[in-house]
């Protein structure tokens, strides 16, 4: 059962050939825990959860090690704790718990290991000291900095030359840097910031740079070289480029991870997500509030909607996408009833996932299985249920369950629906079709489907409605 994956480093799909088939190792960059994770953060969590499931299926659950870290030392954390007048530990414990609750609702399995940056300070100091010893880093003004010019192929992952990166980067032109692209491995701590004894005999206390943290955590739990490193496309440069550089140069290795995987960008209703545009939305807001589409959304609906686009492609996050995902899952749940799952997902579903995690193809196959199951094919229904559970989009829910958000049952105000239906009919009589369509679409976004017909006696238009399945 061969798995092929697209490697950002080589710009092509490659056969996954584990360094040790008895211990397939994957590292994925996790959250910086200072606030609720946003919906863009959910994409890599879901994508690499599917890959984790696939690796476990192919190599066996006991032969896969998945590390997804928690970054609990960072400038944003320091600033938020100061703003809230609470300790950094209280903030990071609270936001880590929030993250875990949110992604559990999305059907995400716990990783094998979830290392925290603050638990790996000795390993970070050791990397600094080794880089200085090997001539790849230097000490300046209480900092330890990586000397980019010391690495001949720096920029290979981003596929850009040093000149191109210098021209396109927001460069900190600190006077103590030898080169403009040199990056911080360790820096002095300010008053009230977390601090630890600095490496390399600096003599003062300080804290690690962001890139260094992931190198230390991946090495500690997966080794100096491992199989897969994943994250969002926004991390390719500078984070992953710098991780790769410091890890290889510290250990004299030709690689850090055999395959580098990155999921595509996410935008909201056709625009880049940003607080200034008012379209910034967290996972928790999708699950528990009415901020997006006027209602909360079931976690598995969010997951299914996310998997409908191939992980490397950009995704446009829309209310209609969620409505369609919910209707599909409710239909599938209605088809399955009390069916028991098969022992393994359908072979074609697995084959699609083994081809660079092609979830849209897997979902298309699932639709075919559903058609067969609706015709009474019991064995196909069992394979369908197994496939849905394998993807993490179904856990014996009933159709109506998908109309339930984390905040409770979806409220259906029948009087308000009746009022809107009448308003739509009035708009159509006035030939205000734009307003009539707006009302219809607004109700559809809430899962309420209108059906127009004629009264057989009066001949007048009669509109009925139902929760969309």
Question: Is residue 309's pLDDT more than 70?
Answer: yes
Mean pLDDT (the chain) is 92
Q: What is the mean pLDDT of residues 259-280?
A: 93
Q: What is the mean pLDDT of residues 136-148?
A: 97
CB environment 232-262: b (16+ within 10 A), e (fewer): bbebbbbbbbbbbbbbbbbbeeeebbbbbbb
Q: What is the mean pLDDT of residues 53-65?
A: 98
C-alpha distances in Å from residue 220, one per residue of 19, 53, 68, 417: 17, 23, 13, 58
pLDDT digits (tens, 9 = 90+) for 325-378: 998 999 999 889 789 999 889 999 999 999 999 999 999 999 999 999 988 888
pLDDT-derived band at 124, boundaries 50, 70, 90? very high
User: Considering the chain, what percentage of its residues have pLDDT values greater than 70?
Assistant: 94
222 close to 27: Cβ distance less than 8 angstroms? yes
Q: Hey, what CATH topology would domain 292-409 get?
A: 1.20.120
How many residues would you count in the chain? 469
Q: What is the mean pLDDT of residues 254-264?
A: 97
Lowest mean pLDDT among 63-77, 251-265, 343-357, 451-465: 451-465
Burial class (CB in 10 A: 0-12, 13-18, 19+), 73: buried
The confidence score (pLDDT) of residue 419 equals: 84
Dihedral sign of CA atoms 392, 393, 399, 401 in order: positive
294 close to 445: Cβ distance less than 8 angstroms? yes
Lowest mean pLDDT among 55-59, 228-232, 371-375, 383-387: 371-375
DSSP label of 344: S
Q: What is the mean pLDDT of residues 137-141?
A: 97
Domain boundaries, the chain: 4-263, 292-409, 414-467
C-alpha distances in Å from residue 84, one per residue of 91, 281, 370: 9, 21, 51
Sheet with 196-197, side-by-side order of all strands: 137-140, 143-146, 183-188, 205-208, 196-197
Lowest mean pLDDT among 282-286, 387-391, 464-468: 464-468
The confidence score (pLDDT) of residue 170 equals: 57
> Among residues 266, 204, 209, which one has the least CA distance to residue 73?
209
The whole-angstrom separation of Cα 136 and Cα 123 is: 17
- The kind and range of the H/E element at 315 are strand 315-317
The confidence score (pLDDT) of residue 5 equals: 98
The confidence score (pLDDT) of residue 172 equals: 60
The confidence score (pLDDT) of residue 463 equals: 83
The confidence score (pLDDT) of residue 409 equals: 46
pLDDT digits (tens, 9 = 90+) for 213-223: 999 999 999 99
- The kind and range of the H/E element at 271 are strand 271-272
Phi, psi of 146 (to 5 degrees): -80, 130
- CATH code given to domain 4-263: 3.40.50.620
Question: Is residue 406's pLDDT more than 50?
Answer: no
Question: Is residue 55's pLDDT more than 80?
Answer: yes
Q: Which residue has the higher pLDDT, 384 or 466?
A: 384
The confidence score (pLDDT) of residue 407 equals: 40
pLDDT-derived band at 408, boundaries 50, 70, 90? very low
The confidence score (pLDDT) of residue 465 equals: 75
């Amino acid at each position: 059962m061969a798995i092929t994956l697209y490697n950002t480093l080589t710009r092509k799909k490659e056969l996954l050939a584990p360094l040790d088939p008895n211990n397939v190792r994957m590292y994925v960059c996790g959250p910086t825990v200072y606030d609720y994770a946003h919906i863009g953060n959910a994409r890599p969590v879901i994508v690499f959860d599917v890959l984790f499931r696939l690796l476990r299926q192919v190599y066996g659950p006991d032969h896969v090690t998945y590390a997804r870290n928690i970054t609990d030392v960072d400038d944003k954390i320091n600033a938020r704790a100061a703003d809230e007048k609470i300790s950094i530990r209280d903030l990071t414990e609270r936001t880590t718990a929030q993250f875990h609750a949110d992604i559990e609702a999305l059907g995400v399995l716990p990783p094998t290991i979830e290392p925290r940056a603050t638990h790996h300070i000795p390993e970070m100091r050791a990397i600094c000291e080794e880089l200085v010893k090997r001539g790849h880093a230097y000490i300046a003004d209480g900092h330890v900095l990586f000397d980019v010019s010391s690495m001949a192929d720096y920029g290979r992952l981003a596929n850009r030359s040093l000149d191109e990166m210098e021209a396109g980067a927001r460069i900190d032109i600190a006077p103590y840097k030898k080169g403009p692209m040199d990056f911080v491995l360790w820096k002095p701590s300010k008053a009230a910031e977390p601090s630890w004894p600095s490496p390399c005999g600096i003599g003062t206390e300080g804290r690690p740079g962001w890139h260094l943290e992931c190198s230390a955590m991946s090495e500690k739990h997966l080794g100096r070289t491992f199989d897969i490193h994943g994250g969002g496309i926004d991390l390719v440069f500078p984070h992953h480029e710098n991780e790769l550089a410091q890890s290889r140069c510290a250990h004299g290795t030709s690689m850090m991870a055999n395959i580098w995987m990155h999921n595509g960008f996410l935008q909201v209703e056709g625009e880049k997500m940003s607080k200034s545009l008012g379209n910034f939305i967290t996972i928790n807001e999708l699950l528990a509030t009415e901020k997006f589409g006027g209602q909360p959304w079931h976690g598995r609906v969010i997951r299914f909607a996310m998997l409908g686009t191939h992980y490397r492609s950009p995704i446009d996050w829309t209310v209609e996408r969620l409505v369609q995902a919910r209707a599909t899952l409710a239909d599938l749940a209605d088809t399955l009833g009390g069916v028991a799952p098969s022992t393994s997902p359908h072979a074609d579903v697995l084959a699609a996932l083994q081809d660079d995690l092609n979830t849209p193809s897997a979902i298309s196959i699932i639709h075919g299985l559903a058609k067969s199951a609706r015709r009474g094919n019991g064995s196909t229904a069992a394979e369908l249920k197994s496939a849905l559970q394998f993807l993490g989009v179904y856990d014996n829910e009933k159709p109506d369950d998908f109309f339930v958000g984390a905040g409770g049952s979806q409220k259906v105000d029948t009087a308000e629906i009746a009022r809107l239906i009448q308003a739509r009919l009035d708009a159509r009589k006035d030939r205000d079709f734009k307003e009539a369509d707006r009302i219809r679409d607004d109700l559809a976004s809430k899962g309420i489907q209108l059906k127009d017909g004629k009264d057989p006696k009066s001949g007048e238009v009669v509109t009925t409605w139902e929760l969309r399945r």
